[in-house]
Structure 1
Amino acid sequence: MADLQDDLHPGTTEAGGFDDLATALPQAEAAFPQESFAPVSDPDDEPLARAHAVLAAHPVADGYSGLPWALKHLPWYDLELGESSVDTDVPRLRAGHVGALFSSLHLPEGLIGDRAVGATLEQLDLVKHVVRGHDEGLRLAHDAGQTTDARNCGRTAVLLGPAGAAALGDSLGILRSLHALGLRALTLTGASWASDAGLTRFGEEVVREMNRLGVIADVSGASPETIRRACAVSKAPLLCTRSAARALRPHPANLPDDLLAELGAAGGLCMVPLTAEQTGPTVRDVADHLDHVRTTAGPGCVGLSGTYDAGTAHPLELGDASCYPRLVAELLRRGWEEAHVALLTWGNVQRVLRDTAFTARAAQLRRRPSTATIAELDG
């Protein structure tokens, strides 16, 4: 057990700090990299034309797609030709300038233990099958470089995850196996070690092992205690793949301002979902949430989550994956700088992917694969 706990983290200042693992990359620079930016649209053009120009250069990295579970229930589909039974297909991804998306491996509630592990593996296999069968429009990606390469080749990069915490079956060995199969994000809810009370000792060890592997922790829908503890334990940025501003709409998955500020200070990313339930019935409502998150947490802490094909209703004018230009046009009408739009759509996700990979490489130099079990740490 000595290799599992604090002796592997000497000198760690967990409450919002970074240990020597990240001294080569200061926190502020990691959260908000200063990169040169050249505007790509004509300010005299109307907003929708400007939106298409900006998105052509800085496409959308969509934080959550429910497509795998939707396709599981279709007897036949062709995403390259176009598929009216779902919200997402290759023509609409291209029309919406979607350069990357996280493909959810979430399962219906009630699946636990071996059933949850098996169903997650089936979902993962399905996504790979779908990508292979639509290789003119889709390409599997595991990191920031592969995501950019896919975009440059005219494909939408597909990242595997988030999966639910139940997919681990309370086993770090299964976490490593899922990572080897391509998993890149895991939601910290729905397990005994990540509950309303926060992370248990085993839950903290899960987060550390995710850091070592390069699996991003998704805290969307998690309790405030879990989010705060994950911010303290994780050396890599956190994602909220489906969270908007609770100050504007009191949905339980939306974040209050104090948590938005903490997430931003830790370099995390709040990906606002395009759902009527969480953000409101119009494109203007979604833009209000994006304004609020940007103001509260900073321009480096806000992203987009289409949440298409997840069984939720969408705001007017944002009914499928082709509609992102309408949202970006609304932001430009409100005076958003192109640089902030570029962070929102593409740059912030790329930064999280890069920082996660950096953290994993550093952690692998000083931390062996964890052999901890839930019985040892929480029993």
Structure 2
Amino acid sequence: MADLKDDLDTGIEVDELGDLPDPFAGKPYDSSVTDSDADLLALAHAVLAEHPVADGYSGLPWALRRLPWFDLELGESAVDTDVPRMREGHVGALFWALHLPEGLAGDRAVGATLEQLDLVKTVVRAHPEGLRLADTPGPVTDARHSGRVAVLPGPAGAAALGDSLGILRSLHGLGLRALTLSGVSWASEAGLTRFGEEVLREMNRLGVLADLSGASEDTMRRACAVSKAPVLCARSAARALRPHPANLPDDLLAELRAARGLCMVPLTAEQTGPSVRDVADHLDHVREVAGPECVGLSGTYDAGAAHPQDLTDASCYPHLVAELLRRGWSEADIALLTWGNVQRVLREADFTAREAQRRRAPSTMKIAELDG
């Protein structure tokens, strides 16, 4: 990442949304003068109105496949995420995961991913007043300015590539924005193979983000070392607080900080605990170890997971922000958590891709040539 620091001003703009009223103007937040839950919740709504949530993971595409009919614009009770609830929760951008059932591989994995990409585009086209497809930082911000939720396709499972860099490029051309590096021979418990490193370099060239949630520690460490763009962990909390295998130990959080990556804490009872306070504990811990520029949020709604009390659907983010305000989080740190850090990662990945495309032709390497 050193080359990015030299070539790109990566300072975070706390308010990237234009000249909106500042609820803190002239009166910095002081918990001693906000003495009720209602006051904190109102303040949370005001903060999120300026700094909306860029949510790192939604299982909506797979959930919608099971429904014979749905309308996300009017409200859809069969899922946890719809346009009215995203507006109530101040969601400005959302990664729509392209889920692969366990054991699905080869052509079936490629086909299931293509079907979900097609579904994502169909759903966005059917809800033009609430949703807008986006794949780079500019369209994400434009969608927010126009009052719509930016939809970023991904992460997809690594099995979706079928061990082919040509398929990776095709998926990117169809809108894929992130790929999870786990569950394949070239990104396994043993770490990244030579072909895995070539996949990561091609992802950098295209601007596809590397998601390391669920990856082995060896894969995570090698990916942080090889990647020229920031990596992210789309669904990882603090293992020091809860020993879930997808949660990160402190030494990996520190490595993520050094790589300017992003740990997106999931709002699931299994990974973070049964209450809003438990989620806030994880956010406190990740912020302390990895730094305020390396922590984000991942609702993980519609992915089959149970959620903490008061965080049951996409409308509930103000309850979490109210708890953070109670703990003394500043507006600047909340702005990074909800919006700024994701925008920074998208900007740096986009810059890396443009630079790499000037220096590097599309890779034609085959897995047999490198790992055979």
TM-score (norm 2): 0.94
Alignment partner, residue 10 of structure 1: none
Which residue in 2 is equivalent to 1:334?
A: 327
Can you list the C-alpha shifts for 1:102-140, whole angstroms capped at 9, x where unaligned? 000021111100110011000000011011111111110
Q: Which runs of 4+ in 1 moved over 4 A?
A: 36-39
Per-residue deviation, 1:22: 5.7
Alpha-carbon distance in structure 2 between the residues aligned to 1:275 and 1:191: 26
Q: Which residue of 1 aligns with 2:365?
A: 372
Deviations 1:48-93 (A, max 9, x none): 1110001000000000000000000011111111111100000000
1:313 partner amino acid: A
2:166 counterpart of 1:173: yes
Does residue 299 of the first structure (1) align with residue 292 of the second (2)? yes
Q: Structure 2 residue aligned with 1:276, among 269, 273, 286?
A: 269
Q: Does 1:146 align with 2:139?
A: yes
- CA shift, 1:36, in A, is 6.3
Aligned with residue 230 of structure 1, among 208, 216, 223: 223
Q: Which residue of structure 2 lines up, in the alignment, with residue 358 of structure 1?
A: 351
Shift of 1:23: 2.9
- AA partner of residue 2 (structure 2): F
- Given residue 273 of structure 1, which amino acid in structure 2 is its aligned partner? P
CA distance in 1 between partners of 2:340 and 2:176 (Å): 21
Distance of 1:318 and 1:119 partners within structure 2: 30
Identity %: 78
Unaligned runs of 5+ in 1: 1-16
1:72 aligns with 2:61: no
Give SS of 1:318's match.
coil
2:14, 2:340 within 8 Å by CA — same for their partners in 1?
A: no
Among 29, 44, 47, the residue aligned to 1:51: 44
Provide the C-alpha distance between the structure 2 equivalents of 1:97 and 1:68, rounded to a whole number of angstroms.
20
2:151 aligned counterpart, secondary structure: strand
Q: Is the Cα–Cα contact under 8 Å of residues 14 and 335 in structure 2 kept in the other structure?
A: no
Summarize the alignment of residues 180-195 of structure 1 with structure 2, pairs less than 5 Å apart: 180-195=173-188
SS at match of 2:228: coil
How many pairs were matched up? 357
Deviations 1:127-181 (A, max 9, x none): 1101111111111001111001001100000001000000000000000000000
User: What's the offset of the Cα at 1:312?
Assistant: 0.3
Q: Normalization by structure 1: what TM-score?
A: 0.92
* Shift of residue 98, structure 1, vs aligned partner: 0.1
RMSD: 1.3
Q: Which residue does 1:220 correspond to in 2?
A: 213
Alpha-carbon offset, residue 47 of structure 1: 1.1
Q: 1:36 to 1:250 in 2, by over 3 A?
A: closer
2:338 maps to which residue?
345
2:324 and 2:282 map into 1 onto residues whose CA distance is: 11
For residue 39 of structure 1, report the CA deviation from its aligned partner: 5.2
What is the letter of the counterpart of residue 185 of structure 1?
A
The separation in 2 between residues aligned to 1:155 and 1:374, in whole angstroms, is: 41
